[in-house]
Chain A
Amino acid sequence: MLEIQDLQVSYGQIKAIKGISLSVPDKSIVTLIGANGAGKTTLLRTISGLIKSKSGSIKIAGEEITSCPAHEIVKRGIAQSPEGRMIFSNLTVQENLKMGAYLRKDHANISKDLDYVFNIFPRLKERISQAGGTLSGGEQQMLAIGRSLMSKPRLLLLDEPSLGIAPILVRTIFEKIVEINKNLGVTVLLVEQNARMALAIAHRGYVIETGKIVLEGEARDLAENEEVKKAYLGSG
Chain B
Amino acid sequence: MGEILQQLVNGISLGAIYALIALGYTMIYGVLRFINFAHGDVFMVGSFVAYYTATAVSKFFPVGSVPAAIIIFLVSMVFCAVLGATIEFLAYRPLRIRPKLTVLITAIGVSLFLEYLSQLLFGATPRGFPEIISNAPFYKSKLVTINTVQTVVIITSLSLMLVLRLVVMKTKIGTAMRAVSFNQQAASLMGINISSVITFTFMIGSALAAAGGVLYGAQYPSIDPLMGIMPGLKAFVAAVLGGIGNIPGAAIGGFIIGTVETFIAGTFLSTYRDAIVFAILIGILIFKPSGIMGKYEAEKV
Contact = CB atoms under 8 A, between A and B. Distances in A.
Chains A and B share a contact (CB less than 8 Å) = yes
Given A91-B178, A91-B179, A102 B185 contact: no
A61 interface: no
Interface string A100-117: 101100000000000000
Interface stretch (A28-36, A80-88, A186-194, A221-229): A80-88
Given A91-B175, A91-B179, A99-B175, A75 B188 contact: no
A48 B172 CA distance: 22
B193 interface: yes
Contacts of A90: 178, 181-182
B191 A48 contact: no
Given A50-B188, A79-B189, A80-B189, A88 B183 contact: yes
B186 interface: yes
Identify whether the interface residues of B are mostly helix, strand, loop, or mixed.
helix
A98 B172 contact: yes
A3 interface: no
Nearest to B175: A95
Contacts of B189: 48, 50, 70, 74, 79-80, 82, 86, 148
Nearest to A48: B189
A75 B191 CA distance: 7
B192 interface: yes
A90 B185 CA distance: 15
B185 A89 contact: no
Interface residues of A, number: 26
Given A95-B175, A99-B187, A102-B172, A88 B192 contact: no
Contacts of A151: 190-191
A151 to B, nearest CB: 6
Contacts of A102: 172, 176, 190-192
A98 B169 CA distance: 13
Q: Which of A88, A148, A151 has the most CB of B within 10 A?
A: A88
A103 B191 contact: yes
A15 interface: no
B178 A88 contact: yes
Q: Which of A50, A82, A86, A99 has the most CB of B within 10 A?
A: A99
Q: Which of A69, A100, A102, A148 has the most CB of B within 10 A?
A: A102
Closest 8 CB pairs of A and B: A74-B191, A86-B186, A70-B188, A103-B191, A71-B193, A99-B190, A102-B190, A71-B191
Interface of A: 48-50, 69-71, 74-75, 79-80, 82, 86-91, 95, 98-100, 102-103, 147-148, 151
